Amino acid sequence: MAKKTATKPTKKSATQDELAEKPVEELTEDEAASELARLAAEIAHHDALYYQKDDPEVSDADYDALRLRNEAIEARFPGLIREDSPAKRVGAAPADGFAKVTHAVPMLSLGNVFDDDGVREFVDRIRRFLGLDADVALAFTTEPKIDGLSIGLRYEGGRLVQAATRGDGYVGENVTANVLTIGDIPKQVKARDFPDPFEVRGEIYMSHSAFAALNAEQEKAGAKIFANPRNAAAGSLRQLDSSVTASRPLQFFAYAWGEAASLPADTQWGVYEAFAKWGFPLNPLATLTDSLDEMLGIYREIEEGRAGLDYDIDGVVYKLDRLDLQQRLGFVSRSPRWAIAHKFPAQKATTILRDIEIQVGRTGALTPVAKLEPVTVGGVVVQNATLHNEDEIARKDVRIGDTVILQRAGDVIPQILGPVLDKRPKSAKPFKFPTVCPACGSHAVREINPNTGKEDAVRRCTGGLICPAQRVERLKHFVSRNAFDIEGLGEKNIQAFYDEGLIQSPPDIFTLAARDAKAEEKLESREGWGPTSAQKLFDAIAARRNVSLDRFIYALGIRHVGEITGRLLARSYGTIDNFLKAMGEAAKDRDGDAFKDLDNIDGIGPTAASAIADFFGEPHNTEVIHDLLEEVKPKPLEAVDNASAVSGKTVVFTGTLEHMTRAEAKAQAERLGAKVAGSVSKNTDYVVAGPGAGSKLKNAKDLGVDVLTEGEWLKLIDQ
C-alpha cells in the first residue's frame, strides 16, 4: 500500500502559470521546451477524458486554445517538436474493455480554418501542390461537419462484419455488437456492384430531441448527465453492454470510406451517390460546386440554418471532388491535404453575472451555476451557465456583478469565458466558494488524489446521511442488496416513503412499524398494500436489526467504502463500539495513532482513509448513527477465535510466502483474531518475512518487532 505522505495540494508553481501566459514571441528556447512538455501532457490528459471517458472537464474552446498555443510554439521552434507532440496525434488509444481493431486504412482527422481567407489559402495550396493554374476549375463537395464520432463499417460479401471507432487513428475499438443496434446503418447490402470488401465511414450522432430525452431519463435515474449530444452519442456507442446502446437512439451519416476492393466512381460525389443508392444515409445538405464564392455562400447558408437543425454541426467540410487528385495530394501529419473543416465561430455575447448559485448533486458534488441577466446567444435565450468548479472560478477570476463573456459553442451548456475587466464594478469581490454544503450545512471537502497529491476539482458535501440533496440516494443504498437488504423495501418504495415523509433517514426505517401502529392512516390501507404485505415488510425490517457489522458499515454510504472495505473495517475493528471509538479519534486527529492504524490496514488506501475520517468528523453523520444504533445492533463479522495465540495481535506479511498466498495468510490470521496491517509500526507484534522481504523487514528490525519465518508463524498458530 502506498504510504500516506503529506498531502498538501501541490500547486502549480507560479513560474509555470506565468509561462503559460507569456506571448510565444517572448519565450526563450528553454521556456518553449518546457511549455511544449506541459502542453503535451495537458492535451493528452484532456484527450483521454474526452475520447475515452466521454466526459471532458474543459470546454472545447479552452481545449482548442491549448492546441493553438502548441502549434504556435512548434511553428516558432520547429527543432523542439516532440516525439509525442499533440499535433501529430489523433484522438486517443482504445479504452480498456473493448477489443482492438487495427484500421486497414488509418482514420485521421481534418485540418481547420476559421475564416474565408483560410478557405482561399486551402484552395491555393492545392493548386500549388498540383501545379494547376487559377483558371483550371476545381470541384469541391461541401457538407456540414457533424458533431458526433466517426465510425468505420466493414462489409464482407455485403454483410456488416465489423464496426470500429477511430481510436488513435490507427487502432480503434471494436463496437460491432453496438453498431448492429443502430437502425440507420444497413446490416446487409444486396447490390451486385457493392465492393467486397468495403469499409464505409461516417459519423454517428444523436439528435437534439433524443439527447434531451436521454438526459431527462438519466436525471430521473440519478445517472450521469451528458454535457452535449456528442458526448452522449460517444458514451452510448462505447458501452460494454449493447442493450444499453440499443436503448439510445443513434443515427448515422456516411461521408467517407476505408479499405475498398474497388470504387463505384472516380469522384467523391460519385461515391456519395452510390452510398445513397446502396441505402446509406447521406446528409441532405451535401452539395457539389466548382467555385470558391459558392463554397463560401453555402457555408453561410448552412450556418444560418444551423439553429433549425435537430443535430449539432460545428462547421462545413470541403473535399476536393476528384479522387485521383486526392490520391496525389495525400496526407500531412494527422489530416488530408485535399479536405478541410471550415469551423463556425463560437457564438458569443456579454451579459451581467447576477449571482453564483451552488447546486448539490446526488453524489454530494457542489457545482457552481452562473445566474445571468438573460441574453440571446445564437438564437437561444441563456440565463444559466456552468462555471465547472471552484478552481475555474478562481482561474478566470469571475466575480458577482461582473460583465462576463458568454459562449455557446457545440456545447449545449453555455460557458463563461471570463470577465470584461473594464466594466468591473468597484464592489466586486472574488467569489468565496462555500466550504459547507448549502443544502444541509455539513462540511464540504475536496479529496486529495493520492497518485498526484492534487486536490480533486470537485468539492463534496460530507453529510451523506442527512443531506436532503443526497438523502433518497443514500436511503436507496442503505436498503440495497449488499447493505441492509430489506425485502419489500426496494428503490420504488423508498422513494414513495421518502416523498411522503415516512422515511427521511435510516433510523426511520426501524421505527416505521411502531409509528404505523399508532397512525390513523395505516400502511395496509394504501393502494397496492394489504395487512399481509404490510406485516411482511415490518417482519423483514425487524429481521435486519442484527445485520452484520460489515454490511452496516457499507450501508452508511461513506465515499470510497465499498463492500470490500466495509469487510476490512469490520474485521479490523471487530465490534461497532470499537469501530466508532477509533473513527471518532481518527476524525479528530489525522496525525494520531487512530488515523495511522486506519490508514495502515492492508487494502485501505489513503483516499478511503481520509474519506472515512471526513465522514466521522461530521457531527450530523454521527448523530444519525447514534439514532440508528438505538434500533440496530450490528453483530461482529464472524466468530473469530479469541483463544488463539495471535488473537488481538497485529501482524505484517512481507516477502514471498511458500505455503499459501498472501490473501489466504491474511484471511487465516484474521480468522484467528489477528489484525493484518500493510506496514510496520511500533504497534506491530509480528512481521512474517518470506524470501525477498525488503524495507518492511528492515523497519521491523529497527523497531525491535519480532520477525518470524513463515514456518515459525505456522507453528505459532499451530497449523
Residues forming contacts to ligand NAD in the complex (CB under 6 A) are: 46-47, 49-50, 56, 58-60, 63-64, 90, 109-110, 143, 145-146, 150, 166, 203, 255-256, 317, 341
Min. distance of Cβ 666 from ligand NAD in angstroms? 42
The listed partner (Zn ion, ligand NAD, none) that binds 461, CB under 5 to 8 Å by sort, is Zn ion
Q: Which of 8, 22, 145, 522 is catalytic?
A: 145
Q: Do 101 and 173 contact (CB within 8 A), yes or no?
A: yes
Which C-beta is closer to ligand NAD: that of 59 or that of 621?
Answer: 59
Measure Cα distances from 600 to 74, 143, 684 in Å.
47, 60, 11
Minimal distance in Å, beta carbon 462 to ligand NAD?
Answer: 29
Degrees to nearest 5, angle at CA 202 with 200 and 205:
140
- Residue (49 or 292) nearer to ligand NAD, CB: 49
**Residues of the chain by 3-state class (helix, strand, coil), percent to 5:** 40, 20, 40
Nearer to ligand NAD, 323 or 375 (CB): 323
Q: Are 489 and 43 in contact (CB under 8 A)?
A: no
Q: Are 679 and 3 in contact (CB under 8 A)?
A: yes
Question: Smallest distance from the beta carbon of 150 to ligand NAD, in angstroms?
Answer: 3
> CA 315: distance to chain centroid?
27
Q: Residues binding Zn ion: what is the number (CB under 5 A)? A: 7
Q: Please identify which residue in 86, 229, 463, 507 interacts with Zn ion, judged by CB under 5 A.
A: 463
- Residue from 340, 437, 569, 676 binding Zn ion (CB under 5 A): 437
* Residue 63 interacting entry, from Zn ion, ligand NAD, none, C-beta within 5 to 8 Å by type: ligand NAD
Instruction: State how far the Cα of 89 lies from the Cα of 623, in Å rounded to an integer.
Output: 54
Which SS3 state, helix, strand or coil, does residue 314 take?
strand
Query: Which does residue 255 bind out of ligand NAD, Zn ion, none, counting CB within 5 to 8 angstroms by kind?
Result: ligand NAD
Residues 297, 305: Cα–Cα separation, whole Å: 12
- Burial code (b: 16+ CB inside 10 Å, e: under 16) for 658-686 equals eeeeeeebbebbbebbbbbbbbbbeebeb
Q: With binding defined as CB under 5 A, does residue 440 bind Zn ion?
A: yes
Q: Is 110 annotated as a binding residue?
A: yes
Give the separation between CA 371 and CA 352, rounded to whole angstroms: 9
Which option in ligand NAD, Zn ion, none does residue 554 bind, with CB closer than 5 to 8 A by kind? none
Residue 461 annotated as binding site? no
By CB under 5 A, residue 439 contacts Zn ion: yes
Q: Are 205 and 253 in contact (CB under 8 A)?
A: yes
| Residue 100 annotated among the catalytic residues of the structure | no
Residue 437 touches which member of ligand NAD, Zn ion, none, C-beta under 5-8 Å by kind? Zn ion
Q: Which three cell numbers stand for residue 68?
A: 493553438
Count other Cβ atoms within 10 Å, centred on residue 248: 21
In the Cβ-directed half-sphere of 713, how many Cα atoms lie within 13 Å?
27
Residue 145 binding partner per list ligand NAD, Zn ion, none, with a CB distance cut-off of 5 to 8 Å that depends on partner kind: ligand NAD
Shortest Cβ 58–ligand NAD spacing (Å): 5
CA-to-CA distance for 70 and 279, rounded, in angstroms?
A: 42
Q: Smallest distance from the beta carbon of 326 to ligand NAD, in angstroms?
A: 13
**Using rule CB under 5 A, residue 467 touches Zn ion:** yes
Q: Which window, 206-214, 215-223, 429-437, 540-548, contacts Zn ion (CB under 5 A)?
A: 429-437
Select 54 or 614, whichever has its Cβ closest to ligand NAD: 54
For 24, list phi and psi in degrees, rounded to 5: -55, -35
Identify which of residues 60 and 455 has a Cβ nearer to ligand NAD in the complex. 60
Sign of the Cα pseudo-torsion (419, 424, 425, 426, in order): positive
Q: With respect to ligand NAD, which residue has the nearer C-beta, 179 or 256?
A: 256
Under the criterion CB under 5 A, does residue 461 sit at the interface with Zn ion? yes
Q: How far is the CB of 120 from ligand NAD (least distance, A)?
A: 20
Give CA–CA dist 47/93, Å, rounded.
9
487 touches, from Zn ion, ligand NAD, none (C-beta below 5 to 8 Å by class): none
Comparing CB distances to ligand NAD, the nearer of 50 and 615 is: 50
How far is 177 from 237, CA to CA, in rounded Å? 10
Q: Is 166 annotated as a binding residue?
A: yes
Provide φ and ψ at 357, rounded to 5°.
-105, 140
Nearer to ligand NAD, 264 or 336 (CB): 336
Residue 467: CB minimum distance to Zn ion, A: 3
Residue 109 binds which one of ligand NAD, Zn ion, none, with CB within 5 to 8 A depending on kind? Answer: ligand NAD
CB of 439 to Zn ion, least distance (A): 4
109 is in an annotated binding site: yes
Gap between the Cα atoms of 563 and 553, Å rounded: 9
DSSP string, 169-236: SSEEEB-HHHHTT-TTS-SB---TTS-SSEEEEEEEE--HHHHHHHHHHHHHTT-PPPSSHHHHHHHH
Q: Which residues belong to the annotated binding site for Zn(2+)?
A: 437, 440, 467
Where does this chain bind Zn ion (CB under 5 A)? 437, 439-440, 442, 461, 463, 467
Catalytic residues: 145
